[in-house]
Structure 1
């Protein structure tokens, strides 16, 4: 399911297609592992306040591992979520372009969950650059 994905990618699936509080705890553990966050080396994680992100288990996991959680208000402006413009919009465009390319190279073959990571890998490499990430924080 993660063939062609960026290195260190975590893949999970839920039959409903939606994030759950239990899955988000696994995402948080993945962040802790790759960020090296600990009580001695704390970090700040900024994300939206969707109910699956602020469960007791996720808050406790974060606290126990030196992660301070900062949530953004729902439907906040681009001033609060600058990556919407500099990273996420280009990522979506590159992702759709990669999907279109895959479909053109595989006529008549429906794209499946197994090809999605490859398209994400292409978009990730182009959109999540240091220049793009820093652009809207100036």
Structure 2
């Protein structure tokens, strides 16, 4: 006899056995025309398929739509989509209603359920990068990039990262310098003679983090908002994770900053700062260090680095070098 694949019949069979536990499972299954193996599994706690699907999705239809659109927006601007971004955004949505976090495979299953996302995670290059933004609408163009400086002699491997932004109008955004450390020292500011709008930030290893990335974009907003000509600012940057975290993208959207990611492995030919600014900067910095070595300073500390960087920056970051990059 063919079995009924009907949830209603299964429910009735389960209720019959619950009312009279002495009933034989096989006889009840035959009475309600359901598979006795499926009935046994349900009696032992297996959830209905509709409940399993609902639990695996976790997000409401509206929340899923928001997440899909967020991923598509990132991809349209050139950022390579990652499963970690999908998972992070989903957990942020769930946190707003105190719901449990998603599991380790949830993000990949989410992408599989949405056909429009699958090609975004499979394609290495997206042709949409070529037409990301309308230059007639965006009149303020900035480039953001990072470069490292090794302090000390051969045995020292401390790295300092300088984050700089330049406008096509050849106006500089004050540098944002990241050094390895936990606390700020007064001597850094006294000896460096940095202008008041230059920033020194610390991280445990001297590399940029998501938190420092948020600090920088707020620094960028502070120093470019008043000088903007159009309604939006275009910020050209690389694909580092700290440059397209969910918080970073949300902040940019709220402040009319449109981010455009360079294609992978192309910074040496497309990144304005790489092309014409960082080379002269490092060369000028090297001359500063050579002068220190002639003065018998054999180990470069942060107190030595800051004034050397200050002098090199003023020498190398000329209007012609900035314009040459664009």
Same fold (TM over 0.5): yes
Contact 1:24 1:58 in 2 (8 A): yes
Match of 1:96 in 2: 286
**1:134 — aligned with what?**
323
Structure 2 residue 311 is the aligned partner of structure 1 residue 122: yes
> Hey, what does 2:58 align to over in structure 1?
none
Indicate yes or no: 2:247 matched with 1:57: yes
Q: Take 1:26 and 1:98, find their aligned partners in 2: how far apart are those partners? A: 29
Alignment partner of 1:42 is 2:220: no
5+ long unaligned stretches in structure 1 = none
| Cα offset, 1:76, TM superposition | 0.5
Larger Rg: 2
Aligned length in residues? 135
| 1:74 CA displacement | 2.7
- For 1:53 and 1:30, locate their aligned partners in 2 and report how far apart those are by CA, in whole Å: 14
How large is the Cα RMSD of the aligned pairs?
A: 2.1
Counterpart CA distance in 2 for 1:27 and 1:12 is 9
Query: Higher relative CO (CA 8 A, sep ≥ 6), structure 1 or 2?
Result: 1
Verify: 1:87 aligned to 2:277, yes or no.
yes
Contact 1:62 1:68 in 2 (8 A): yes
Q: Deviations over 1:100-130 (max 9, x none)?
A: 222333x245221122221111111111111
Partner of 1:113: 302
Larger displacement relative to structure 2 (65-74 or 96-105): 96-105
Specify whether residues 94 and 108 from structure 1 end up closer, same or farther in structure 2 by C-alpha distance, changes over 3 A only.
closer
TM-score of the pair, normalised by structure 1: 0.85
For residues 21-57 of structure 1, what are the alpha-carbon distances to aligned partners after superposition, in whole Å with 9 as ceiling and x for unaligned? 011100110010011168x742111111111211111
Deviation digits for residues 78-108 of structure 1, max 9, x if unmatched?
Answer: 3312432311111111111112222333x24
**Any stretches of 5+ residues in structure 2 without a counterpart?**
1-187
Kept in 2: contact 1:6–1:124 (CA 8 A) = no
TM-score (normalised: structure 2): 0.38
**Is the strand fraction higher in 1 or 2?**
2
- Contact 2:271/2:325, CA 8 A, preserved across alignment: no
Q: Name the counterpart of 2:265.
A: 75
What pairs with 1:25-36 in structure 2 (closer than 5 Å)? 25-36=214-225
Q: After superposing the two structures, state which structure 1 stretch, 5-14 or 51-60, moved more.
A: 5-14
Measured in 2, the distance between the counterparts of 1:7 and 1:90 equals 24
